[in-house]
A = this chain, B = another copy of it.
Amino acid sequence: MALIVHKYGGTSMGSVERIKNVAKRVAKWHKAGHKMVVVPSAMSGETNRLLGLARDITPQPDPRELDMIASTGEQVSVGLLAIALHAEGLEAVSYAGWQVPIKTDSAFTKARISEIDGGRVLADLDAGKVVVITGFQGVDPEGHIATLGRGGSDTSAVAIAAALAADECLIYTDVDGVYTTDPRVVEEARRLDRVTFEEMLEMASLGSKVLQIRSVEFAGKYQVKTRVLSSLTDPLIPLEEEMHSGTLITFEEDETMEKAVISGIAFQRDEARIAVMGVPDKPGIAYQILGPVADANIDIDMIIQNTSVDGKTDFTFTVGRGDYQRATEILNTQVKDHVKAERVLGDPKVSKVSVVGVGMRSHVGIASTMFRTLSEEGINIQMISTSEIKISVLIDEKYTELAVRALHKAFELDQA
């Protein structure tokens, strides 16, 4: 008998029929003797509908009130799921985040969980109840509802699993696990049986949108055994089969088996590159260039500063494509003359492609294999950025698929 947390996404909760299927699946686990906590998202489309109502009133609604509104989607879900569990003959009770309570800071629409008091939930579990808890939300120190941002239910589930010292957190989603790369781009992409949370972190941050990145951070920090698996299987498939399906995110490197050097190829389209050329190389220059951009709430991703020549340097960075125009405008009006730059250049049509793997730490030659492969395909590398377990390159967007396929093959990811 274990304590298990299930998380179901909006698609899994998308209709009365699907909610009944979720209840059937949870009932199967409960009947096998497990203590069950379930964290559902809002029914698909509901959060957008609610935010749409608010934005119809005013384009920039108050974040505190947005959270008041958006949090109701999950509250409806937990009530409906509890009712569906009753219909399966189980005792079940639903809680909104504030009822647990799941405590957060006051950063409305992007709050972070600070503390979860698991006492009430554990008492219900001991009494044989299934406990259904709203994802995506908690309560701040002043008693206001605060949401965790898009995808926040993943984080809720993992954080709840951590607080309850759950044996495993199962994230049910409409894909059946984490792949070596996007199967829509590379037909030979393979599902990984396991990845380390660090790899998952890089995958998530690089655009493999299986899990919200903060949930992965939580899983790593609190060592929560987390599994990503499909909610599209028959809810009554044998438990033994289900509990070994999907991809397990581990917080320890598996020493008993030969670990692949590279776990996957991640990529992110819709990037834009901006270069501020011929800037006098003085202390503080990076802040003078990026400060105004960050102040406009534009996320900056890769940053490169070239070695200076004749006291001048080039400064290049990437932003999301949606922010490209605004960012170049800010640079041209507020920054260029101020920092005495020669010119501002840019390319709004670039992609980032990355190879990710903890094995990289102990293997040389990953970078050269990557660069050779791209070179053989005639793909020019515009920028390079590296971390301990990943190498990212920026390329012309039109080569994205070609690059991903070539790298997937070069690192033999199609072979188990």
Residues of A within 8 A of B (CB): 16, 19-20, 50, 53-54, 56-58, 61-62, 64-66, 68-69, 71-72, 75-76, 78-80, 82-84, 86-87, 93-94, 96, 98-99, 143-145
Contacts and interface: CB of A to CB of B under 8 A. Distances in A.
A83 B254 CA distance: 52
Given A64-B93, A93-B64, A53 B80 contact: yes
Contacts of A86: 58, 61-62, 65
A82 B145 CA distance: 14
A54 B75 contact: no
A69 B79 contact: yes
Given A20-B57, A62-B86, A79 B75 contact: no
A53 B53 CA distance: 20
B79 A66 contact: yes
18 contacts: A16-B53, A53-B76, A54-B80, A54-B83, A57-B83, A57-B87, A62-B83, A62-B86, A65-B80, A65-B82, A66-B83, A68-B82, A68-B94, A68-B96, A69-B80, A72-B72, A72-B76, A75-B75
List the 8 closest pairs (A to B, CB-CB), nearest first. Answer: A69-B79, A72-B72, A68-B79, A58-B87, A16-B56, A65-B79, A61-B83, A65-B82
A84 B75 CA distance: 23
Nearest to A78: B68
A117 to B, nearest CB: 12
Contacts of A56: 16
Given A56-B16, A57-B16, A75 B68 contact: yes
Nearest to A54: B83
Contact of A82 (B62, B71, B83): B62
